[in-house]
Structure 1
Amino acid sequence: MREAVAAALSRGAREGRSTAVLLVGPERPDGATLDGFDELMRRSVLRDDPVGRIGDEFAAVLQDIRSVDNAEAVARRIAVAGPARIGIAVAAPGEYGADDLLHRAALALQEARSRSDGAPWACYEPDLSASTPLAEELHEAVGKGELRLLYQPIVALPDGELTGVEALVRWAHPERGPLEPDAFVPLAERSGAIGDLGRWVLGRPRPRPRAGSGACRRCS
């Protein structure tokens, strides 16, 4: 998606056109999948406007947007088709780079998620640029020893032989309590903390199965 945004911004700078990014966070019940949401996104934008996925979020790049009102009209179509929160960021020709525009859309999405009433989307405003408290805390969480790594066995059927483990990171937040990955991994990706988080995970000791262990035994 970053490449798609960069290409749209480059074209917009050459042709004197504005570009918008819509970052969309679908609202779904626990356990629901996102199957079909990408098709919903494609039906809501023009045929040539790129649509893609960033983790559990989706993004649309509007390549020839004349005003914020036009971007909001697209956001409205998406929200009507499927419950979602949407962040909107618009760049005039040559105004932002791809990373900056995506970051502004992410801040707008956070603002949209914080609202309890009104439209389910928010447009980027300069006063949203301040770092969120949770993002600042996440940068410090690794050094403070607040992260935990759990391991989920992966077994082969039908004999149940242990073939590996899946690493599951958790954040033992001192005030908010245990946080699942959905609550902080997207934030890590947007705030730049994902590199520190990944290095911490890769640096943990690998679990080894106990002698004679099978699918139902704990990993050491």
Structure 2
Amino acid sequence: PAPTATPAPTSAPASTPDHPYDPNNTMWRIFSTTDQTFEALELALDDAVAANDVSQVPIIVEIMRFSGAPAVMDAYREALVSLTGQDFWLDPPAWNAAMEWLGPRRDEFPPPSEYLDWKVNILGLIDPRMAAFFTAAPGSERIDLTEAVWGGVRTDGIPDLQFAPTLTPDEADYLEPRDRVFGVSINGEHRAYPLRIMNPHEMANDRLGGEPIALAY
């Protein structure tokens, strides 16, 4: 069965001699459940800023996608300005500006070690099936998981192409000379996926050159 979201504790003491600052704890306190209080969020952000914990930058940027409440966004803004020196709200939409700025600097802002579990929890709150995308083979990923963000659609909300029938170049007379295609070549087998067909689906599952492929853009 697909894993489901498991909320983590939402409160913890601030850093003290008896309770050293913990980036993972702060990450979970920034967001772990949909019924989290604003006061708990403010305290978590204040602790991150006080510790100059830049590992929370990708966490705050990611969670910005899920909140539009003015007070909450103001709290995110203050924390990000303190941790990065950047005010992304001067170039709206702020989330887009933050993602573009963070992209080439991700090595400078690695997330806390429990980031994968946190991400699975967040996505599982939206749709439990999405949690399975990140738990099949933990540790074997070849991409930066902070770059994988929810696109605003539930699982299978946009139907993908499943092993669509193909035509030879001569048979595909519906294509115009200037039509764009995605060209894929694997093990000596070649295929063109027309943009006009891919557009409504955004993803194609297929087999080419004896290999299963998933084409997305």
TM-score (norm 1): 0.27
Of Structure 1 and Structure 2, the greater strand share is in 1
TM-score (norm 2): 0.27
